[in-house]
Structure 1
């Protein structure tokens, strides 16, 4: 686990961060450029953008919230990477009003698809921001994790409704407009012209384990992180993960 992640935060981000670090390293090797251009759509206050910048890359964060962008600026300054992080106000729908097409080696789309009106359009836009052979890191809410969570809380009717609803919603009070299966996310990525390089289940166990246990039991946090990492790549656990991560890889440019 990278020291750029705080221990408790690592329960939610470690799997994605490790996959993303590996993808960045492979792009550096493939391009021969030690500094990549990275776009983080919906990047908020910089949970991923700042650690990526600390690796030496240039990061543009697009987010609709002025408050989040202000927090990003402060966080980047505190991490001494303000010169490598740029925040601009915008969203996935109007992405090319604020950034250029085909200008990025890696694009992050984390926690965005759940809230947009048209997830397929959002994926197409993020893909259009990639350079040839670029990489898309896509993270979205998993259907199975929500069903399991509602059932374990005793809300069996809501669990069944989420299971049957085309958007994975458990009721009118559900704050998440869209949830996804691994198959649906993969189809969105492939439909936008990318190859699915990997699929990972995220927060398979972390949201089910009492926080007090992790905080007080010696070695529990490290053991849980290792368990999450081991289960992340197993398809059997994708169906119960709170989030799903898909790595999409763009094809070579014609004539390359």
Structure 2
């Protein structure tokens, strides 16, 4: 099954529509380059399979590496319920080079991982070792600017300022996220680990700000919000206030 069918086969949720759009384009291009419809995909930190299972449904060979055995169990159950096979392996992103062969992947997902690993450079270097020439990494990471906006809207103005001033983008000692990244810092990380930096997208520009009552149960509201998110994803101003930033790196 060709990668171009990704949006026909998996209706994207509001929060992930922009990422799926980018993945569709990457997979379609890779399928054309290689002449292979079944691509090899690794989802580092893929958890319960929110991306992995739909990708497997499209006919791709998907491996999920995650440190949580509970998440991997839930992944296997979800895959079984959907009638697809997904390979599950326990491990950390930095251990990818020890767990999987070099030059064996066409695409590696690294979503909500760099915020938590001990050394983002080591993690991305391990990812680079997995990719074949012409392959790509999909990086999704939390944005400190959005964190400041959300803290301010909650009335925590000192924490909002701290998120902007802290080198790691943290709003305080109780912040559960160890670090956040701007588009510039993500680009620098990718360049430092041998990737050519590709497109940058803002993810959840409005989705985390719009009350759910304005979307749930309103005919056409979700579709309209998805269209708005897609329009804002590359907007020169709005992109940089998104809750997450999505960056593609190419080998």
Query: TM-score, normalised to structure 1's length?
Result: 0.93
1:39 to 42, 57, 65: 42
1:58-111 deviations in whole A, cap 9, x for unaligned? 0010000001111111111111112xx100000112222211122101110001
Q: 1:1-256 maps to which residues of 2 (within 5 A)?
A: 1-5=7-11, 10-82=13-85, 85-250=86-251
Q: CA RMSD in A?
A: 1.2
Q: How many residues align?
A: 245
1:94-129 deviations in whole A, cap 9, x for unaligned? 222211122101110001001111112211111111
User: Structure 1 residue 144: deviation in Å?
Assistant: 1.1
Distance of 2:11 and 2:176 partners within structure 1 = 27
The runs of 5 or more residues in structure 2 that have no matched partner are 1-6
Equivalent residues of 2:97, 2:129 under 8 A apart = no
1:2-53 deviations in whole A, cap 9, x for unaligned? 45246xxx11111101110111111011001111110100001110011111
Distance of 2:237 and 2:162 partners within structure 1 = 22
**Given the superposition, is the C-alpha separation of residues 136 and 5 from structure 1 closer, same or farther in structure 2, using an over 3 Å criterion?**
same
Query: TM-score, normalised to structure 2's length?
Result: 0.95
The runs of 5 or more residues in structure 1 that have no matched partner are 251-256
Distance of 2:74 and 2:219 partners within structure 1 = 33
User: Structure 1 residue 234: deviation in Å?
Assistant: 1.6
